[in-house]
Amino acid sequence: MGYGNLRGDGVYVIIKPRLLSVVFVCRKLSVSVIAIMSESIIQWYPGHMARSKRNLEADLALVDMLIEVVDARIPAASRNPDLQPYLNKKCHLLLLNKADLADPSSTQRWLAYYKRQGFVPAAINAARKQGVKEMLAAVERAATPLREKLARKNRLQRPVRAMVVGVPNCGKSTVINALSYSASAKTGNKPGVTRGRQWVKTKANIELLDTPGLLWPRFADYDTAYKLAVCGCIADNVFPVYQVACQFAEQLLRLAPQALLDRYKLDELPDCGETMLTAVARARGLLGVQGKVRDEDAALLLLQEYRAGRLGRITLEQPTKGEA
């Protein structure tokens, strides 16, 4: 592991040669840190992005319909604009998955927003198979134009062929399982566990490619990268966990102060993200030698608890003002 020290900013850059990841140990977010962070994540991706793009393009040629899965807590940040050119050519269904972890009224706003944009959206909890009926109905709605086209051409009705696409960890495999008769797709809570491919019959009148199409997360800006990191769509070893958790703690202090007070049994709210992480460390006994608080461990713990829904149902972004 190599170390570089950008003393001017008080920023320490630790480079792990194999992963090309950069970890920052810094006290405050600064523009340069943000720039370097986005760059470090982007640097890490090209190989994977190129491979998944090639696989995706080959698979896209086989299907009539795209079932795009996004994380209901970040329904915009977890979309990938690279998919846009294909959306006009295929039937398209937009699934807001993990709706059990998102704020219900925000999810309603997002559904309305996407409907107004001409999409066929549905909110589901694929892990609990909740919303499957709505999902099947939405699949049918999304497939209708193609069925009508086939009927007009007097072509033999054949099953509509679909594939599930989405960024890592949004629940693609779980959605495939929820649509299929038996558990066929592997699921995991780490980005990128899925390999191999075949067609599966589904409860909907469609055939599904059992391998989901991996859309690489798009870091259009720091804010998008930040949200994807918080929700677990980027592996924890490729972004500065402490720094992201600090910002997240700050956001939670605004979005869900009561949840923080209750979950970590605090008497009063800390005044910033850093002190919030210290409070989490103390609440959970994350203490090192000589009682020193282990802020880095608290950072990971806070993110993990949010991802698992332990802090309640919190959506991290809302539709753009005026359009919502």
Interface with ligand GDP by CB under 6 A: which residues?
A: 97-98, 100-101, 125-127, 166, 168-174, 187-189, 193-194, 212, 309
CB of 250 to ligand GDP, least distance (A): 24
- Tell me which of Mg ion, ligand GDP, none is bound by residue 208, counting a contact when its beta carbon lies within the kind-specific cut-off of 5 to 8 angstroms: none
Q: Which of 42, 4, 7, 48 is CA-nearest to residue 23?
A: 4
Q: Name which of 22 and 233 has its Cβ closer to Mg ion.
A: 233
- Name which position in 173, 177, 202, 247 contacts Mg ion (CB under 5 A): 173
State how far the Cα of 155 lies from the Cα of 139, in Å rounded to an integer.
21
Q: What angle do CA 74, 317, 72 make, to 5 degrees?
A: 30
- 142 neighbors 65 (Cβ within 8 angstroms): yes
Phi, psi of 234 (to 5 degrees): -125, 135
Site for Mg ion contains 194 (CB under 5 A) = yes
**Binding letters toward Mg ion, positions 131-170, x by CB under 5 A:** ----------------------------------------
DSSP annotation of 22: E
Q: Name which of 137 and 193 has its Cβ closer to ligand GDP.
A: 193
State how far the Cα of 70 lies from the Cα of 65, in Å rounded to an integer.
16
CB of 124 to ligand GDP, least distance (A): 6
**H/E element, 104:** helix 104-116
Distances (CA, A) of 314 to 95, 105, 106, 255, 257: 18, 10, 9, 8, 11
Put residue 171 in one of left, alpha, beta given phi > 0 → left and psi -120 to 50 → alpha: left
- Tell me which of ligand GDP, Mg ion, none is bound by residue 98, counting a contact when its beta carbon lies within the kind-specific cut-off of 5 to 8 angstroms: ligand GDP
CB of 255 to Mg ion, least distance (A): 29
Q: Name which of 92 and 172 has its Cβ closer to Mg ion.
A: 172
Site for Mg ion contains 211 (CB under 5 A) = no
CB of 276 to ligand GDP, least distance (A): 24
Alpha-carbon radius of gyration of the chain? 21
- Tell me which of ligand GDP, Mg ion, none is bound by residue 163, counting a contact when its beta carbon lies within the kind-specific cut-off of 5 to 8 angstroms: none
Q: Name which of 24 and 216 has its Cβ closer to ligand GDP.
A: 216
- 139 neighbors 162 (Cβ within 8 angstroms): yes
Binding site for Mg ion (CB under 5 A): 172-173, 194
